[in-house]
Amino acid sequence: GCAAQPGSDIPTSSQPRRGGRLRVAFAGGGAQETLDPHLANLFLEASRSKAMFDKLADYGADVSIVPRLASKWEAGKGLSTWRVTLRAAAFHDGRPVRAADVLHSYARIADEKRTFRAKANLALIDLRNSRAIGDRTVEFALKRPYAEFPNVLAAFGAYIVPEGADEFSRPVGSGPFAFGSFQPGRSLLLKRFAGHWDGAPYVDELEYLIANEESARVNAVLGGQAEYAHDLTPATARTHENGGRMAVVRLSNSGMQAFAMKVDRPPFDDPQLRQAMFLLADRSQMVDSVLSGAGQPGNDLFGKDYLYYAADLPQRTPDLERATWLIDRAGAKGMRIQLDTSAAASGFIEAASVFADQARQAGLDITAKTGNKDTYWADVLNKGTICCYRSGAMPIETHISQRLLSHSTTNATKWARPEFDALYDKAVGTGDETRRRALYLDMQRTLHAEGGFLVWGFADWLLGTSPRLRGVVNAPANTLDWARFDKVWLG
Amino acid sequence: MNGPDAVERPDAAERPDAAERPDAAERPDAVERPDAVERPDAAERPGSVVRASAGKGAVWLRRGLGVVLMGVPLVIALLGPWLAGAPEPRGVSFAAVAPLGTDFVGRDVWEQVLLGGRSVVSVAVLATLLAYAAGVPLGLAAALAGRSRLDEVLMRPLDLLLAVPSLLLLIMLAALFSPGPAALVLIVALIGLPEVVRISRAAALEAAGGTAMQALRLQGETWWRRAVGYAGRSMLATLVADVGVRLVGALYLVASASFLGVGLPPDASDWAVMVDRNRTGMFLQPWAVLAPALLIVALSVGLNLTFDRAVRKGGRP
Amino acid sequence: MILQVDGLRAEVDGRALVDGVSFELAAGDVLALVGASGSGKTTTGLALLGEHAPGVRLSGTVRLAPGAVAYVPQHPSTVLNPVRRVGGVLREIARRRDVGEREIARRRPDAGERVLEAARQARLSVELLGRYPHQLSGGQQQRVVLAQALLLDPVLIVADEPTTGQDGLTRAEVIEEFRGLRTQGIALVLLSHDLAMVRTLADHVAVMRDGRVVESGPASDVLNAPRHDYTRRLLTTRLLPRSPEAPEPPRTAENPDGPDGRDGPDAPAVVPAGVPLIEVRGLVAGHRRAGVLREVSLSAAAGECVAVVGRSGSGKTTLARCVAGLHRPGSGTITMNGEPLPRRLPARARDVQYVFQDARASFDPYRPVSAQVARTAVRLRGASPAQAAAAARAMLDRVGLDERTTARRPAALSGGELQRAALARALLAEPKVLICDEITSGLDALMQAAILDLLDGLCRDLGLTLLLISHDPDVVARLADRVVTLENGRITAQKARPTSPSAGTTSQSARITAQGAQITSESAQ
Amino acid sequence: MSLTRYALRRLLLGVVQVVAVATLVFVLTEALPGDAAVVLAGDIPDEERISRLREALELDRPAVERWAGWLAGLAGGDLGGSLVSGRPVAGVLAAGLPPTLVLAGLTLLLLVPVSVGAGVAAAVWQGGLLDRVLTTVTVGLYAIPEFALGVVLVALFAVRLGWFPPTAVGAPANLLEQPALLVLPLVVLLARPVCSISRLVRAGMIDALGSGYVAHARRLGLSLWRVRLAHALPNALAPAAQQLARTADWLLGGVIVVESVFVIPGLGTLLNDSVAARDVPVIQALCVLFAATTVAANLAADLASYRLAPAAAGTR
Ligand SMILES: Nc1ncnc2c1ncn2[C@@H]1O[C@H](COP(=O)(O)OP(=O)(O)OP(=O)(O)O)[C@@H](O)[C@H]1O
Ligand SMILES: Nc1ncnc2c1ncn2[C@@H]1O[C@H](COP(=O)(O)OP(=O)(O)OP(=O)(O)O)[C@@H](O)[C@H]1O
Ligand SMILES: [Mg+2]
Ligand SMILES: [Mg+2]
């Protein structure tokens, strides 16, 4: 369900109109960027890939899986083979999308020698034993039983490219827009693809403009140079919200904001101290100060409002007294703790600053250390004790498998428990939906009680759109309807 | 200006020290006037007496302007931390509450303003002083060396420093140095050093090539006295003009350095850091940017006006 | 009437520098202001243009006829723009747009030609026009300033010591040019110590002393029948040639052996009167590629005074600067007592001191003169600051400068006063060799005599070796034991003992030293 | 030694300097924490992934070997390929150069008359109202960070009044085709250098105006402004010329703030991006370019200094 909720004073009832060139402004990767959809990493690249290519499935607004190129999928016996049926669709050059294209695309992503982002998601597929059954059906063999296979089809960057494609200076895909022209670091011009299976876009042309500076994106919309500005700060949103020259769209629940404590080393190997941290955090103040109010408080769990989210667990509220008592018991009173932060994501520096203040009131001496923003993620993965952390939208299952299992490769909290791993294996090994839900709830209960993530909030993702632009819907970043331009129109 | 007829110049009244300036550039036109030039006795003209008393108030105001502009920020910087009181709980960021609203992390801007002057003044001033303390002698040495090998030995390595993009240098230093005010002062001074050397070298060249310099050498005068006492004195006006401006450059370098993780923490109470960090809310809650920016502007304008005055008072031979 | 001055007064802090000066000047008239060094001539001259030094207050009336007033300042180097080639400035003056009626009346042909004409009048050779001021010799700079004045087509020229840097021949030619100007109806105010020039040029003479005109009137009256005592003393003072029976140079520790006839292959023809204390051999020096000195050899014994004469631009100053260590020669040796002089300046400066031709430029404009003078004693003689100050006071006193004058910055001293201060500064180093580059050009006859007596005394009593550079044959005759003539960078003649050609006469031609009279191309190249 | 020979020697030294800078930068980037592989890995810094990336980018070869290879390539005019996009570095540079050249060129063109004019005016009427106003305005502008100035100007003149386009997004590759685009960036670029240079000109001018040669030039009947501009000014310019060279250097290095506020993808943005991506070949090539301009600017400034102080040029 994608509730259409465009910016404040735009009437939602207006009829879609054909035509025009839609210009959208994103922060970009500079002159070095490429159009290879499998290399997509930045929001800009994700949105461009989505415009030119399709995945087999994608995330809905609650991060459940919605079919795209795949019209349906069904598990074989034992959940270790999956049969996926493709719908009738065509690439921009007229060739139909076939099972061979799917296999080629997945093989390319999973290539041992390469490092595409979705590679980890696809690792479960035994491609050698997977095969095409006719042009429109693919049978995937998995390395072990896996109930959440549709998550793989929707993985970030798992786009379908034509068989043999390995060079993307003039990309050909099956998405709603076809390649027009490209100036690296400046702009990408796309043209409406009339033959798109999901209905052709309303606009004739789509131009991606690159403006790294937020103020420039906003000014481009205000000055009529663009119709859509991606990623605004809350302060900017508040500035222009009521000005009438730009509509602000809030994509709620787009980003988890957290502190990641490493549970395998002092001081946070002590559950009491983690508990104290959970209790001393004043989440609503964080949301107010750091997100300028553009978000909701978190409850130390990933994926608020997503499928399988444990919404029933009690919301934590600050309890300084108990936090202080716990800190005392943990023998950490007055302890100096270094909180790693950097400009790697917006809000990190502010979050560290505000949190350090709150911790001080409970008797902890937290100092923020600003690290290099470019290598931040690698730096904090194994080093330090507590760091700022954020995550975009993904299924809760993916979050767990990538970050919270003993063998997870990006386990920033060093959460490694055999009994937790077992729960996970059970969950993805059962085809029974209710049982799976119960298992996820169990896992989340453990994490809520003593996990390493202090999830203090969920940030809204903020967009600025020109009043002319209609049809922009509220969907968390990285989901299907976010930054999707085939269903919007210029009024 | 003080030809006998100069007392009639209207602007002379506004310049208390004008009577001592041999502003000869404007002088001789009087002689060329086609009609006979009458040069009346200046001492007997009542105008000169009236002028002195009438100009007094204006003169005081003008003298005061620079000092006031400079004084307010300095006083806030010095006394602010005592006036600030205990930190108040944070509010919503960029809220327009009294007196100056809140900043990007919901702190009270007025309190931040009170707290934020000390580091600005001390770090920027120290760094600038350090850059000058090292740069001016180097520049003088290079100038006095003429186009000799010493000049190359001094200047070419500094060219290297100039040629490395400062962004790279900053990131690099950020990675190497542990954050701290001392490191910050060093870094900012280091980045400013080559320019100081080049400018002081250029300013000293003329004095260095002059006869007086040779006379001083013939007197066995020490390098220090020749360079600093004579060449340094003759380029004082240039240096003062430069330092007045360079200080501000140092200030904002501190701010960008803090953003990259060098020196001050990125949420430090520091005017320059405040300007830099609160810019996202510039139109929402302008005071968070305006207040510290105005203080910095006042400080540098006041500094420049006062320096101008001091140099003018110091006079020329 | 071109100029009418009435009750001119200049004062500093209530002290009068010039007081009650009044005179009138008609077209084509020449008024000479003569008087003691520091008597207020320059101050008066500047006041005619409505100018004054900083801190000075002017009062009184100056009335001027329409037309340009040209000014030839006493110190040319301070008025030449260091970054402009001299020819460029001359052309600029010739082209200037605010042309008076006089110019329109006779439309001048062409700026370039006018520049050439002015340069010719000022005896400035054309090659020099492409140079920067610092690339010119003292005399050449002076002629540039003169050419500038002549280009102006003025009604009045105020010329402050216009010929001090010129050799006899050029001086005579310049005086001749001034005479020519008179016939064009240009009035001239001449501020000068050069009584011979005054005699040939002036219609009226005013004698100044301590800021007041003590006597004035037609030139013939004042010069031939002076009424005031001071004028009389000024006119009667004669520089007496050094007595023929020169004393044996004193045997100092440095040359105990006396003469030993060490004539090298290129030894001068005239044997110096004693063992050479300082010896220059085969000196070659120049600026960039242009050679100035070619194989100059020269020597001087202790206590001896060797005069170096020659035309302006012949390389005298360059030679002196080489000896002093301020200019690196291309080749050649300079030895003292057979030892090469130390290359490093402070060590060398203890033995060899140089008094700059341009006294004003050689002082730091920011510090009081007395303080600068005293530093020599501190640095080179190791005196304590207090001792140095006392020594400086004593030395300044000997050259006739009182404490009040020298407590001021250089800009507030007159040209002659600075020249004396510069001499005092060099003498404080108690050097073995003193090089004097035109040090008496700005002094009145009385003061000149006193200074030369002082130097003579130092030579005789302390064995000071003097290298004297001067265009004034009287000065040379007064002091020199030997005269060396420099021409185009070569030594062309040496004479054992000059006779004063000017003794008793004032004729111009006689004042040209015989040795320097060849009319050759200016440029040293 | 003549100035020509001096310049030649400096140019030769310059080549050495450029290579030295490139080496230094190589060492610096090597010493920077993290390499292109780590940066490319982004927020999924899986160790295996990083080592694969490293292999793919040939970062596993020893640094010295890569350095030698790069230098050999440079000697042959080959700048290599970008680590991130694989495109030839020369092409990447060529795309970033024109906007930077346009901005820098126009800024310098305007900067000289404006700053010299302001400096001269302030000196001529020293201590007067104009002087104070000029001091206050220029120093005040200087004390406002470029970013704030840029954003305020855009908000006022582009968004509110609509006189100029707010950014250059979607502009033609050749910025000169749309001059209105350049107005605000130029104003922002000029604000600071005008201050620093005009202050230096003013200080030098005040000294020069008080000198004997200026007084004498007036006596010689040259017009007031001619004396100020042709006689006093050249003597006042030496320090300003140095500062001008620094400014030129700064401008040619690309000005990140202005480029990002107005979305002009020039060399500054390119450097910023490639440092962020640890794209060593691009960084190296940029630094060679910057070092060359720095050496050239310094040489020009030094020659100007000697021309403006001929007496000093003559010594030794
Ligand atoms: N600014 C000043 N302040 C105080 N005294 C001054 C100042 N300028 C000049 N004097 C003094 O005024 C006197 C006259 O100076 P002036 O230059 O007119 O002398 P002069 O006759 O030209 O001497 P000379 O022949 O040595 O050049 C000197 O004693 C000098 O020291
Ligand atoms: N820096 C320089 N560069 C080039 N030529 C120079 C330089 N300085 C002096 N000259 C030239 O060298 C020659 C000798 O100059 P020098 O100053 O030694 O002459 P001088 O004999 O002292 O003359 P004067 O009697 O006029 O002072 C002159 O022709 C002069 O023009
Ligand atoms: Mg005089
Ligand atoms: Mg000479």
Does ligand 2 have an atom closer than 6 angstroms to the CB of C394? no
CA distance, residue D140 to nearest chain A CA (Å): 23
Q: How far apart are CA A39 and CA A116, in angstroms?
A: 6
B147 has a chain C CB within 8 A of its CB: no
CA distance, residue A52 to nearest chain D CA (Å): 19
> DSSP E strands: which ranges in A201-246?
205-210, 228-230
Residue B39 pLDDT level (bands cut at 50, 70, 90): very low
State percent of chain D over pLDDT 90: 10
State percent of chain A over pLDDT 70: 96
Does residue B50 register a pLDDT over 50? no
Contact A154, A403 (CB under 8 A): no
Amino acid B259: pLDDT: 67
Does residue C472 register a pLDDT over 60? yes
Amino acid C255: pLDDT: 40
Q: Which of D238, D275, D315 sits opposite B202 (nearest CB)?
A: D238
Query: Region C225-251: what's the mean pLDDT?
Result: 70
Q: Which of B261, B234, B286, B258 is nearest to B119 (CA)?
A: B258
CA-to-CA separations, B39 to A142, B36, C4, C19, C51, in angstroms, rounded: 109, 10, 11, 16, 11
Does ligand 1 have an atom closer than 6 angstroms to the CB of C141? no
Q: Which of A235, A343, A367 sits opposite B281 (nearest CB)?
A: A235
Amino acid B3: pLDDT: 36
Amino acid C150: pLDDT: 87
Query: Region B297-306: what's the mean pLDDT?
Result: 87
DSSP state of B102: B
Query: Considering only CA atoms, which residue is closest to atom 13 of ligand 1?
Result: C38
Q: Token pair of A309, please?
A: 């989210």
What average pLDDT does the structure give for chain C? 81
Q: Token pair of D226, please?
A: 């001619």
| A282 compared with C503, residue with greater pLDDT | A282
Does residue B28 register a pLDDT over 50? no
Long-range contacts of B187-191 (CB under 8 A, 24+ apart): B187/B257, B187/B262, B187/B263, B188/B123, B188/B124, B188/B127, B188/B128, B188/B131, B188/B250, B188/B253, B188/B254, B188/B257, B189/B126, B189/B127, B189/B128, B189/B130, B189/B131, B189/B134, B190/B131, B190/B161, B191/B166, B191/B253
Residue B39: closest C-alpha in chain C = C61
Contacts of residue B203, Cβ cutoff 8 Å, sequence gap at least 6: B139, B235, B238, B239, D204, D238, D239
Q: Which of residues 44-73 of B touch C (CB under 8 A)?
A: 44
Amino acid B51: pLDDT: 33
Query: Considering only CA atoms, which residue is closest to atom 8 of ligand 1?
Result: C412
DSSP state of A16: P
Does residue B10 register a pLDDT over 50? no
Query: Region C37-52: what's the mean pLDDT?
Result: 88
Phi then psi for residue A156, to 5 deg, are -60, 115
Residue C235 pLDDT level (bands cut at 50, 70, 90): confident
- Map residue C222 onto helix, strand or coil: helix
- The model's pLDDT over D238-252, given as tens digits with 9 standing for 90+, comes to 889 989 998 998 888
Distance C137 CA to ligand 2 centre (A): 4
- The model's pLDDT over D265-293, given as tens digits with 9 standing for 90+, comes to 888 888 888 877 778 888 888 888 888 88
Q: Which of D34, D166, D260 sits opposite A375 (nearest CB)?
A: D34
Does residue D106 register a pLDDT over 90? yes
DSSP state of C290: E
Amino acid A119: pLDDT: 84
- The model's pLDDT over C128-140, given as tens digits with 9 standing for 90+, comes to 898 888 888 888 9
Q: Token pair of A161, please?
A: 């490219």
CB neighbour burial string for C159-176, b if at least 16 within 10 angstroms, e if fewer = bbbbbbbbbbbbbbbbbe
The alpha carbon dihedral of A268, A272, A275, A281 has a sign of negative
Does ligand 1 have an atom closer than 6 angstroms to the CB of C297? no
Q: Which residue has the tokens 């005394």?
A: C457
> DSSP E strands: which ranges in A321-434?
336-342, 365-371, 386-391
CA distance, residue D169 to nearest chain A CA (Å): 6
Q: Give partners of D (≥3 CB pairs < 8 A).
A: A, B, C
Does residue B85 register a pLDDT over 80? no
Q: How far apart are CA A204 and CA A194, in angstroms?
A: 9
- What is the residue-wise DSSP string for A155-205? -TT-EE--TT----SS---SSSEEEEEEETTTEEEEEE-TT-TT---SSSE
Does residue B213 register a pLDDT over 60? yes
Residue A439 pLDDT level (bands cut at 50, 70, 90): very high
Q: Where are the alpha helices (DSSP H) in A362-417?
A: 376-382, 396-403
Residue B311 pLDDT level (bands cut at 50, 70, 90): confident
Q: Which of A234, A239, A289 sits opposite B105 (nearest CB)?
A: A289
Q: Where are the alpha helices (DSSP H) in chain D?
A: 3-31, 36-41, 47-56, 63-75, 89-124, 129-143, 146-153, 180-209, 212-219, 224-226, 233-236, 238-252, 256-261, 267-276, 280-308, 310-314
Q: How far apart are CA C164 and CA C143, in angstroms?
A: 10
B16 has a chain D CB within 8 A of its CB: no
Across the interface, whether the CB atoms of B106 and A289 are under 8 A apart is answered yes
Amino acid C499: pLDDT: 54
Does residue C59 register a pLDDT over 60? yes
Q: Where are the alpha helices (DSSP H) in C184-248?
A: 195-201, 219-224, 229-236
- The model's pLDDT over C159-178, given as tens digits with 9 standing for 90+, comes to 998 888 888 888 888 898 88
Q: Which of residues 308-337 of C touch D (CB under 8 A)?
A: 328
Query: Region C118-123: what's the mean pLDDT?
Result: 87
Q: Which of D32, D165, D270 sits opposite A225 (nearest CB)?
A: D165
CA-to-CA separations, C507 to A290, C365, D18, in angstroms, rounded: 99, 40, 70
Amino acid C519: pLDDT: 32
DSSP state of B120: I
Q: Which of C144, C134, C3, C136 is nearest to C69 (CA)?
A: C3
Does residue D57 register a pLDDT over 80? no
Rounded (10°) CA dihedral C333, C338, C341, C342 = 120
Residue B314 pLDDT level (bands cut at 50, 70, 90): low
Query: Considering only CA atoms, which residue is closest to atom 6 of ligand 1?
Result: C412
Q: How far apart are CA C412 and CA B315, in angstroms?
A: 14
Best mutation site among C15, C17, C198 for ligand 1 pocket (most ligand atoms within 8 Å of CB): C17
Contact B107, B97 (CB under 8 A): no
Query: Region C330-357: what's the mean pLDDT?
Result: 86
Which atom of ligand 2 is closest in space to residue C310's alpha carbon? 21
Across the interface, whether the CB atoms of D223 and C68 are under 8 A apart is answered no
Contact A175, A53 (CB under 8 A): yes
Amino acid D313: pLDDT: 65
Amino acid B53: pLDDT: 38
Amino acid D194: pLDDT: 92
- How many CB pairs below 8 Å do chains A and B form together? 72
Residue D119 pLDDT level (bands cut at 50, 70, 90): very high
D10 has a chain C CB within 8 A of its CB: no
Q: Which residue has the tokens 């598990």?
A: A75
Query: Region D30-56: what's the mean pLDDT?
Result: 76
Does residue D4 register a pLDDT over 90? no
Does residue B221 register a pLDDT over 70? yes
The alpha carbon dihedral of B188, B192, B196, B198 has a sign of positive
Which atom of ligand 2 is closest in space to residue C523's alpha carbon? 29
Across the interface, whether the CB atoms of B25 and D151 are under 8 A apart is answered no
What average pLDDT does the structure give for chain A? 87
| A58 compared with C514, residue with greater pLDDT | A58
Q: How far apart are CA C348 and CA C324, in angstroms?
A: 8
Residue B227 pLDDT level (bands cut at 50, 70, 90): confident
Across the interface, whether the CB atoms of A349 and B280 are under 8 A apart is answered no
- Map residue C23 onto helix, strand or coil: strand
Residue C274 pLDDT level (bands cut at 50, 70, 90): low
Contacts of residue C294, Cβ cutoff 8 Å, sequence gap at least 6: C284, C488, C489, C490
Type of residue numbered C83:
V
Query: Region B70-75: what's the mean pLDDT?
Result: 88
Query: Region A393-402: what's the mean pLDDT?
Result: 89
Q: How far apart are CA B291 and CA B298, in angstroms?
A: 11
Amino acid A261: pLDDT: 93
Site from D23, D209, D288 to mutate, B interface, most B CB atoms within 10 angstroms: D209
Contact C20, B1 (CB under 8 A): no
Query: Considering only CA atoms, which residue is closest to atom 22 of ligand 2?
Result: C317
Contact A481, A2 (CB under 8 A): yes
- The model's pLDDT over A212-257, given as tens digits with 9 standing for 90+, comes to 888 889 889 988 889 999 888 888 888 888 888 889 988 888 889 9
Amino acid C518: pLDDT: 34
D31 has a chain A CB within 8 A of its CB: no
Query: Region A103-108: what's the mean pLDDT?
Result: 92
A34 has a chain B CB within 8 A of its CB: no
Query: Considering only CA atoms, which residue is closest to atom 19 of ligand 2?
Result: C313
Contacts of residue B16, Cβ cutoff 8 Å, sequence gap at least 6: B55, B59
Q: With contacts defined as CB-CB under 8 Å, which chain C residues touch B20?
A: 54-55
Does residue D316 register a pLDDT over 50? no
Residue A54 pLDDT level (bands cut at 50, 70, 90): very high
Query: Region A19-44: what's the mean pLDDT?
Result: 83
Q: Which of C483, C441, C447, C492 is nearest to C163 (CA)?
A: C441
- The model's pLDDT over C418-451, given as tens digits with 9 standing for 90+, comes to 999 999 999 998 888 999 998 888 888 888 888 9
Shortest-distance ligand to the CA of residue C143:
2
Q: Where are the alpha helices (DSSP H) in chain B?
A: 29-32, 46-54, 56-83, 109-115, 117-119, 125-145, 149-163, 166-176, 181-208, 211-218, 223-224, 233-234, 236-259, 271-277, 287-314
What average pLDDT does the structure give for chain B? 73
Claim: this prediction has a pTM higher than 0.90: no
Across the interface, whether the CB atoms of D269 and A30 are under 8 A apart is answered yes
DSSP β-bridge partners for residue C484: C308, C494
- Map residue A43 onto helix, strand or coil: helix
Q: With contacts defined as CB-CB under 8 Å, which chain B residues touch C67?
A: 32
B178 has a chain C CB within 8 A of its CB: no
- The model's pLDDT over C90-110, given as tens digits with 9 standing for 90+, comes to 888 888 754 554 555 455 567
Does ligand 1 have an atom closer than 6 angstroms to the CB of C414? yes
CA distance, residue D88 to nearest chain A CA (Å): 10
Query: Region D107-133: what's the mean pLDDT?
Result: 90
Does ligand 1 have an atom closer than 6 angstroms to the CB of C440? no
Q: Token pair of D61, please?
A: 């070869």
Q: What is the ipTM of this complex?
A: 0.83
Q: How far apart are CA B24 and CA C371, in angstroms?
A: 28
State percent of chain C over pLDDT 70: 85
Q: Token pair of A376, please?
A: 């931040």
A101 has a chain D CB within 8 A of its CB: no
Does residue D109 register a pLDDT over 90? yes
Query: Region B249-257: what's the mean pLDDT?
Result: 78
- Map residue C11 onto helix, strand or coil: strand
Residue C243 pLDDT level (bands cut at 50, 70, 90): low
Type of residue numbered A389:
Y
Residue B261 pLDDT level (bands cut at 50, 70, 90): low
- C–A touching, 3+ CB–CB pairs within 8 Å: no
Give every strand in the sheet of C156-160, ordered side by side.
Answer: C69-72, C156-160, C187-191, C30-35, C204-209, C212-218
Which atom of ligand 1 is closest in space to residue C56's alpha carbon? 1
Contact C481, C398 (CB under 8 A): no
CB neighbour burial string for D227-260, b if at least 16 within 10 angstroms, e if fewer = bbebbbbbbbbbbbbbbbbbbbbbbbbbbbbbbb
Q: With contacts defined as CB-CB under 8 Å, which chain B residues touch D316?
A: 146-148
Amino acid B315: pLDDT: 58
Query: Region D175-190: what's the mean pLDDT?
Result: 87
Rounded (10°) CA dihedral A36, A39, A42, A47 = 40
Distance D181 CA to ligand 3 centre (A): 62
Amino acid A90: pLDDT: 92
Does residue A110 register a pLDDT over 70? yes
Query: Considering only CA atoms, which residue is closest to atom 8 of ligand 2?
Result: C135
CA distance, residue D202 to nearest chain A CA (Å): 36
Does ligand 2 have an atom closer than 6 angstroms to the CB of C341? no
Across the interface, whether the CB atoms of B159 and D306 are under 8 A apart is answered no
Contact C25, C1 (CB under 8 A): yes
Site from A233, A292, A361 to mutate, B interface, most B CB atoms within 10 angstroms: A292
Best mutation site among C18, C414, C440 for ligand 1 pocket (most ligand atoms within 8 Å of CB): C414
DSSP state of C250: P
Amino acid D310: pLDDT: 79
